[in-house]
Amino acid sequence: MPSTLPSEPKARKGADSARTSRLVIGAASLVVLVLVWRFIAFLVGKDILLPPPEKVLGEALSLYPTGKFLAALWATFLRGSAAFLVSLVLGSFVGIAAGLSPVFSAALAPILTIIRATPVLALILVVLLWFPSGFVPVFAAILMCFPVMVTSTVAGVKAADPRLLEMAALFRVPRKEQLRRLRLPAAAPFFLAGAKNSLGMSWKVVVGGEVLVLPFRALGTGMNNARINLETPQVLAWAAASVLLCGLTEWLFGLAIKAASRHGI
C-alpha cells in the first residue's frame, strides 16, 4: 500500500518551531513598541501629555489591587461578555438562516447596512435615552458586533464545497444532517474569525461607551475620572487594563477553540 502520509513527529516539530518563532517575534515587537514609547515620552518631556512606560506601570501596580478597580474591571468584563455572547448566539442563528435562505438574506441586507453605517457615538447618545447607563455600552456593542457575526457566518455557510453538497444531495442526506455535519464545520473558520473580531470589538465599544455614559462601576468611567483629574498615567493604566482584558479573553477563547477541536466539536 503506498504511503503519502507526512511524518507526524517531523510535522509536530515544525509546528512547535513555527509557534516559538511567532512568540519571539511578537515579544520583540512589543519591546520595540515600549522603547519607541519611552523615546517619544523622553522627547515630549511632560507626563501630562505622554508619561513614560515605567510611570504608567507604577500607576497600574498601585491601582490594580484596589477594590474600586477590581469592581470596575468585573463590571466591564460582564458587559463585554454579555455583548459578545448575545452577538455570537444571535449573529450565528441569523447568519445560518441568511446563508441557507436567499430570501431571508435579501430581507436582512438593508438592515445590516443601516446598522453598519450608523455611527456608534450617535447610537450611544440615543440609546442613553432608552436604557439605564450601565446597559447602554452593552447594547451599542451588540449592534456593532452582530453584523460582523452575521456576515462571517453567512460567508461560512456559503463556503461549503459545492462538490460535497452535490455528494450529500445524491446520497439523499437529510438537510439537518447536511447542516450539522457539512455546512457548519465548513463554516467554522469563518465563524471563528468573526467571533474573534467581535470579541475584540466588544471590549472597545463597551469601554468607549462607558467613557461616554459613565456607569457607576466601569473601566471607562475610571478612565474618564482620571482624565478629568489630568492624571494621564492613570488614564493609560485604566486603558492598559482594557487592553489586557481584551488580550486575556482572546487567549482564553483561543484555548477554548483548541480544546473543542481536540474533542472533535
Partner 1 sequence: MAFELRNIHKSFGALRVLDDVSLALEEGSITVILGPSGCGKTTLLNVLAGLAAADSGERRGFEGLRFSYAFQEPRLLPWLSARENAAFALAGAMRREEALARIDPLLEAAGLRDARNRKPSELSGGMKQRLSLVRAFAYPSEMLLLDEAFTAVDLKTKLELMDVFLELWTEERRTVVSVTHDVEEALYLADRILVLSQCPARIIESLDIGLGREERAFGSATTMEAEARLYALVLGKTAGSSD
User: 132 or 185: whose CB is closer to partner 1?
Assistant: 185
Q: Cell for 107? A: 430581507
Q: Using the rule CB under 8 A, is 11 a contact of partner 1?
A: no
H helix intervals, 45-119 = 53-63, 67-100, 102-117
Q: How many CA atoms lie within 13 A of 99 on its CB side?
A: 25
Minimum distance, C-beta of residue 148 to partner 1, in the bound complex (Å): 24
Q: Using the rule CB under 8 A, is 257 a contact of partner 1?
A: no
Q: Using the rule CB under 8 A, is 177 a contact of partner 1?
A: yes
**Of the candidate residues 100, 115, 164, 212, the single one contacting partner 1 (CB under 8 A):** 164
Q: Using the rule CB under 8 A, is 172 a contact of partner 1?
A: yes
Minimum distance, C-beta of residue 166 to partner 1, in the bound complex (Å): 6
User: 97 or 164: whose CB is closer to partner 1?
Assistant: 164
Maximum pairwise Cα distance, the chain = 75
Q: Using the rule CB under 8 A, is 43 a contact of partner 1?
A: no
Point out which span in 20-28, 151-159, 171-179, 224-232 binds partner 1 (CB under 8 A).
Answer: 171-179
- Distance between CA atoms of 57 and 29, rounded to whole angstroms? 18
Minimum distance, C-beta of residue 263 to partner 1, in the bound complex (Å): 13
Q: Using the rule CB under 8 A, is 7 a contact of partner 1?
A: no
Per CB under 8 A, contacts with partner 1 among 180-199 are 181-182, 185
- Spatial contact of 234 and 62, defined as CB atoms under 8 Å apart: no
- Distance between CA atoms of 252 and 246, rounded to whole angstroms? 10
Minimum distance, C-beta of residue 217 to partner 1, in the bound complex (Å): 43
> What is the number of H-type helices and E-type strands within the chain?
11, 0
- Residue at grid coordinates 474618564: 224
- Distance between CA atoms of 34 and 10, rounded to whole angstroms? 36
- Distance between CA atoms of 96 and 187, rounded to whole angstroms? 9
User: 113 or 261: whose CB is closer to partner 1?
Assistant: 261
Residues that bind partner 1 (CB under 8 A): 1-5, 163-164, 166-168, 170-174, 177, 181-182, 185
